[in-house]
Amino acid sequence: MNVGFIGLGNMGKPMAINLATAGHNVIGYDVSNENIDGIKTVKSGAECAKDAQVVITMLPDGEVLVKVAKEILPLMTPGSILLDCSTVDVESTLEVAQMASKFDIGSLDAPVSGGILGAKAGTLTFMVGGVEADFNKAKNLFDIMGQKFVLCGPAGSGQAVKICNNMILGATMIATCEAFALADKLNLSREKMFEVVSTSSGYSWSMNAYCPAPGVGPTSPSDNNYEPGFSAALMLKDLKLSQQAAKSVGAKTPIGEKATELYNDFVEKEGGNIDFSGMLRALEEKS
Ligand code: NAD
């Protein structure tokens, strides 16, 4: 397949390399104009998009996505697909889907879970919004870049699932950190906390797979001085998107709101480039 790839950052670069390694003809573009071994790069999004059957975008936010889509959609071949893997707000996704349909271009929102390691290993999970025919055309690409891909519903559904999932993640991480901070004050050993909770009703991915207490449970960023992993800045971004979406549809998300406030304070204090499980530090200090 001729694949255009726009946004070759921490995530996009390894995803594009995996597609090229699997034999696709990948042409990449990033504003940084960096040369990347393994893929051909060009000097504009337009060059990247014009002969592509699928254009993949992996960009920082909705504003950049809309700007890029406005530039490339008129140049894309009717029947081709714009596959956006960035995490962005639902409104921008829907705006891009509407624009794409005017040019007879298919569009899929397909944000990912699995982080930089998953992007490199080709083990991402894709949560996809769009129509089945477009999803089927992109399956082969998902299969190379990831290990699981789910069509969640019409345009916007991929972004909706992503922000709901990450709102749960942010909230459960804070709850897990709080419980460790409380357990410390109650003179409970962290190992015993983990042993019991990870096999009891308090278990969660945050506790069992990504334990925020160093030296406890499977190896995670807490064992590496909270080097990300999944940075607190990205968690804050996703929580803010969840609150923006909640506001737009009038949904009550009081815990999501509190989680956003706590990660906002955390990022202001610690900077965003610390793993989101580092929240334990902030709660230890508070207590
Ligand atoms: P990044 O900042 O490393 O990469 C974004 C790239 O887009 C940069 O290289 C930037 O130069 C480029 N870019 C910006 N404007 C552009 C434009 N107009 N045209 C072309 N290129 C442009 O970010 P990332 O970590 O790769 O994340 C990308 C997306 O994936 C984000 O939406 C993020 O929320 C999401 N995401 C990231 C992770 C993660 O662990 N890093 C995990 C899941 C989802």
Per-residue pLDDT tens over the stretch 247-286: 999 999 999 999 999 999 999 999 999 999 999 999 997 6
Q: What is the DSSP letter of 77?
A: P
Average pLDDT over residues 126-140: 98
CA 277 to CA 279: how far, in whole Å?
5
Residue 269: Cβ within 10 Å count: 12
pLDDT of 136 strictly over 70:
yes
Beta bridge partners of 112: 126
Residue in 13, 162, 192, 252 annotated catalytic: 162
Atom of ligand 1 nearest to the CA of 8: 9
pLDDT at 287 over 60: no
Give yes or no for residue 173 having a pLDDT over 60. yes
Residues 206 and 173: beta-carbon distance below 8 Å: yes
Span from the CA of 247 to the centroid of ligand 1 (angstroms)? 25
Residue 230: DSSP 8-state: S
CA–centroid distance, residue 117 to ligand 1 (Å): 15
Pick from 27, 44, 58, 92 the residue to mutate for probing ligand 1's pocket: most ligand atoms within 8 Å of its CB.
58
Residue 35: the pLDDT is 87
CA angle 112, 170, 245 (to 5 degrees): 70
Confidence class of residue 34 from pLDDT cuts 50, 70 and 90?
Answer: confident
Q: How long a stretch of residues is the chain?
A: 287
* Residue 162 annotated to the active site: yes
Quote the strand ranges of the chain, DSSP E. Answer: 2-6, 25-29, 40-41, 54-57, 81-84, 106-109, 112-113, 124-129, 146-153
Q: What is the pTM of this model?
A: 0.94
Please give the distance, rounded to the nearest whole angstrom, from the Cα atom of residue 62 to the centre of ligand 1.
11
What pLDDT sits at residue 38?
86
What percent of the chain stands above pLDDT 70? Answer: 99
**Which residues lie with the beta carbon below 6 Å from any ligand 1 atom?**
6-12, 29-32, 45, 58-60, 64, 68, 86-87, 112, 115-116, 230, 234, 237
Residues 43-62 pLDDT 10s: 999 999 999 999 999 999 99
Q: Which residue has the higher pLDDT, 115 or 214?
A: 214
For residue 102, the tally of other CB atoms under 10 A from its CB is: 9
Residue 115 has pLDDT above 80, yes or no: yes
Give the nearest ligand 1 atom to 116 CA: 40
Q: Show contacts of 12-17: CB within 8 Å, 24+ apart.
A: 12/56, 12/58, 12/85, 14/116, 14/119, 14/120, 15/56, 15/58, 15/85, 15/119, 15/124, 15/145, 16/56
- In tens, the pLDDT along 94-113 reads 999 999 999 999 999 999 99
Atom 42 of ligand 1, residue of closest alpha carbon: 115
Residue 257: the pLDDT is: 98
- pLDDT mean over 71-75: 97
pLDDT value of residue 286: 61
